[in-house]
Chains A and B, each alone.
Chain A
Amino acid sequence: MADQPKTAEPGRTGLSPRKKQQVSRGIQYVVLAAALVAVVLYADWASLAQNFAKIDVARAALPELFTIALRNTIIYTIGGFVFAFVVGLLLALMRLSQVRPYRWIAILYIEIFRGLPALLIFLLIVFLPLALPGFEVPFGTYGQGILGLGLVGAAYQAEIFRAGLQAVPKGQTEAARSLGMSATRAQVTVVIPQAIRMVIPPTTNQFVALLKDSSLVLFLGVSGEYVELAKFGNDLASQYANATPIMVAGVTYLIVTIPLGYLASRLEGRKGRKR
């Protein structure tokens, strides 16, 4: 009986826990209101609007914002994603291979490309023709951008696939093998399809990461019809000496990334319910 929660403590002058909570919450609201008032009073709204949200500059971004910049962002991202998906699956299978050198190669690749800044990879790609005389990345600028995103994405995608492949119960392989399927057949028919289903949510997140990283194409020195959103916004901003195009590019990213983020968490939720 002594341990029962007390609604009131007669004979004590201090505030009850509930009262304390109310006071604490009141203070938090006051701080927030004060900060808001400070921002409203001290920010130079006219100047901000002039530099970050100028309507006629924003209008100048159309229609190329969508017809060139967003289109290219999507080309770089999907190209890089397909590259990363295929190479990533291959690396994951190598990582789990019985043949030790395959495991070493996969580990080496994954550690290097996850450990380096993506930007560094893009800078190196620019120097590829110098390092390998006569070598040219196919499909020109698109090829370079896709290669850069794919090389980095493959390392992350490989780890996602590895987790998925390892999450398929051993009994699945045993059942397939005991039906007379070869080890390869069992992987292709039974294990990999289940692994791919399991990795759809993290892979969607990985796609969003690649979409954002496609802004690094900026450092390939692209121009004209090859520009993607970040480069497009940056160029226009320089031209008008105004930050509005960068804001416009930013909003365009969000239009794509936020729905994809929701999709990923919904897919995750569905997976959770099925279990």
Chain B
Amino acid sequence: MTHAIELRDLHKYFGRNEVLKGIDMTVDPGQVVCVIGPSGSGKSTLLRCVNLLETPTRGQVFVEGVEVTHPDVDIDAVRRRIGMVFQQFNLFPHMTALQNVMIAQQRVLKRGKKEAEVVARDNLDKVGVGAKCDALPGQLSGGQQQRVAIARALAMNPSLMLFDEPTSALDPELVGDVLTVMRKLAEEGMTMLVVTHEMGFARQVADRVVFMDGGVIVEDGVPAQVIGDPQQERTRAFLHRVLHPEE
């Protein structure tokens, strides 16, 4: 079976600082994999290497069997199949919610205006912001903005989705709405790679949890093991800090 994502000996330097120190990892179709770890551990960089928002210094990235790090590959075509959701939403502020979801369909997939609008409304309904089609991003709450951003990615019919700390910039009471949408996506069988601090989500929704620290994968396994019964001291220390912050 072809992996949805495969990383082989991935290294990334920022200047002389080695952020990823040889990552080997796979995500299978339909799997939900959560990447957890302290800040600066390289988890966001790893995610951004998958759709080449960061260019790996060394190593290979395969998406559905195609090596995207190969110099001849059409990176725009690869990115079309990979949905990406950012911590800061990154909606286009000069367009309404509906236009945000339509624009790439029209300009990249060359869908007609009518078709793009139907797809956009469907997806906005699906994430629960169908009533906000004509609002500008600035008029929406963080949770609504992030759900529009998810709809924007879904409208491209991606075969897998990347989430880069999608709830970290949200007020606590708005986190639930976004997680609910993500859970629904997971149940529908979407392949998802999620960088997150939401341990409850990771435990309940993820098929696998990957714990990263210092640019390497420390532990990789089912949630019950990595979160419930961590084998490595570093994982235990991290989880303790996250789950019992006051101590």
Contacts and interface: CB of A to CB of B under 8 A. Distances in A.
A175 interface: yes
Nearest to A194: B94
Contacts of A185: 107-108
Nearest to B92: A190
Contacts, number: 59
A137 to B, nearest CB: 38
Given A189-B103, A189-B107, A274-B138, A180 B79 contact: yes
A179 B86 contact: no
Nearest to A197: B94
Contacts of A171: 86, 88, 90
A177 interface: yes
Given A171-B86, A179-B108, A193 B94 contact: yes
Given A193-B94, A197-B94, 6 more contacts: A169-B90, A171-B88, A174-B53, A175-B86, A178-B79, A194-B93
Contacts of B149: 175
Interface string A175-215: 11111111001000110011001000000000000000000
A171 B109 CA distance: 22
Contacts of A238: none
A274 B91 CA distance: 16
Contacts of B92: 172, 175-176, 190, 194
Contacts of B94: 193-194, 197
Interface in B109-165: 109, 138, 149, 152-153, 156
A174 B103 CA distance: 15
Contacts of A274: 138
The 8 closest A-B pairs by CB, nearest first: A180-B80, A175-B90, A179-B104, A178-B84, A171-B90, A180-B108, A180-B79, A180-B76
B79 A177 contact: yes
B104 A180 contact: yes
Interface of B: 51, 53, 76-77, 79-80, 82-84, 86, 88, 90-94, 103-104, 107-109, 138, 149, 152-153, 156
Most buried by A among B53, B104, B149: B104
Please report whether the interface of chain A is mostly helix, strand, loop or mixed according to DSSP: helix
20 contacts: A169-B90, A175-B84, A175-B90, A175-B149, A176-B92, A176-B104, A177-B53, A178-B82, A179-B80, A179-B104, A179-B152, A180-B76, A180-B108, A180-B109, A181-B104, A181-B108, A189-B103, A190-B92, A194-B93, A197-B94
Contact of B90 (A174, A180, A182, A189): A174
Nearest to B152: A179
A222 B77 CA distance: 57
Contacts of B152: 179
Contacts of B86: 171, 174-175
A178 B93 contact: no
